[in-house]
Structure 1
Amino acid sequence: MAAIIEMGRVFRYAGLDLEDPNPELDSREVLRHYARMYPRLNGAKIIDPVVEGDKYVYEFREANYGDKG
């Protein structure tokens, strides 16, 4: 018999694993939620999730303003 595993989400920023504040929110809404606590997340990119154990791990990367190219 196959087991159904519900995958949770974790949001990683600067080496910190941030909990999912609300599974109903999409990843952009979660980014806005955490940008209130971490202002450097304003304008950040969301990297596609990878699976680690029983969780999807999304990475928030700060925008690199001033980079050429």
Structure 2
Amino acid sequence: MMLTATILPRVFFFKEGGKEVELADPDPQWSTETVLHFYANTYPVLNNARIEGPQVRDDRMEYHFNSVMGTKG
């Protein structure tokens, strides 16, 4: 029996306005931190986010960017 290794694609998610936004992997060679900083230019809420994952689901590796911003008051 021959085994085949497969590299699973990465997908990134974050919540914005109660909806989950799916982000494509801009470069599989980048670290997850680099991807986070890349997308923070477009989505400022990601400037204060942490990375959770990966979780393998549907033949892909899913990472979640979770905002650590609190509320005032």
How would you bin the TM-score normalised by the shorter chain? 0.7 to 0.9
Count how many residue pairs are aligned between Structure 1 and Structure 2.
67
| Aligned Cα root-mean-square deviation (Å) | 1.5
1:19 partner amino acid: A
Q: Does 1:51 align with 2:56?
A: yes
Runs of 4+ with >4 A deviation: none
C-alpha contact 2:37 2:47 (8 A) present in aligned 1: yes
- Any gaps of 5 or more consecutive residues in structure 1? none
TM-score (norm 1): 0.85
Q: 1:23-60 CA deviation, whole Å, 9 max, x = no partner?
A: 01000000000000000100201012100121100000
- SS of corresponding position for 1:5: coil
The 2-side partners of 1:40 and 1:34 are apart by 10
- Any gaps of 5 or more consecutive residues in structure 2? none
TM-score (norm 2): 0.81
Sequence identity of aligned pairs in percent?
34
